[in-house]
Structure 1
């Protein structure tokens, strides 16, 4: 499939160079493997890596002043986003809209691994539990 969604001649580079940062070291332990702030990359998103082996476990209820996108890389998760409950498996993506309290948990079996994209150059969060 060939895509041509826009004319490349209409977009001017802004002078930034490609940048590489470490999201998490290979030997990282615990559920929060690491994060990479958009500020470090000169971009508008912050990326977090989360994972655990225990069904029922996950981040506590919290809220952000921006959208958060969750990518399930491995396992199965149950997301609580406002009044919505969404189950997602590896390969699926869930949106947590800004200002809406949310959390998620591993529903097993096995490891849950997510990549969490914060639509902000910095990670801002208020825990509600």
Structure 2
């Protein structure tokens, strides 16, 4: 059975493409995060997952720390973080940073490292 999920189901901010969705309830083994970081320096703390995370950069530039590497990624690029790899990112600006993050798990499993 196909599912249609309206924005009101997953958004944190009405009218914005920002929020998260665990898709196991819909028969999928994935989760989505629609990231919107309007402030330079904004982003999540260092963390890890026991599965891959895929970042699709939609707007702006982010500085990603993935393991012991730092990678500057811009709109149109895709980054794949292997399982159990510490990672984080920050908005480098100018302007907002937006990404769609795909977790290869039907529910979020995160270990925060800082």
Normalising by the residue count of structure 1, what TM-score does the alignment of the two structures yield? 0.79
The equivalent of 1:18 in structure 2 is 2
The reply on whether 1:118 has 2:103 as its aligned counterpart is: yes
Over the aligned positions, Cα root-mean-square deviation in angstroms equals 1.8
SS in 2 for 1:19: coil
SS in 2 for 1:27: coil
Given the superposition, is the C-alpha separation of residues 28 and 61 from structure 1 closer, same or farther in structure 2, using an over 3 Å criterion?
farther
The equivalent of 2:77 in structure 1 is 92
User: Bigger radius of gyration, 1 or 2?
Assistant: 1
The reply on whether 1:69 has 2:51 as its aligned counterpart is: no
Query: Structure 1 stretches (4+) deviating beyond 3 angstroms?
Result: none
How many aligned residue pairs are there? 111
Name the structure where strand makes up a greater proportion of residues. Answer: 2
Q: CA deviation at 1:98?
A: 0.5
Residues 64-107 of structure 1: per-residue CA shift (max 9 Å, x gap): 01000001111111110001111111111111111010000100
- Structure 1, unmatched stretches of 5+, are 1-16
SS in 2 for 1:110: coil
Structure 2 CA distance for aligned equivalents of residues 28 and 41 of structure 1: 23
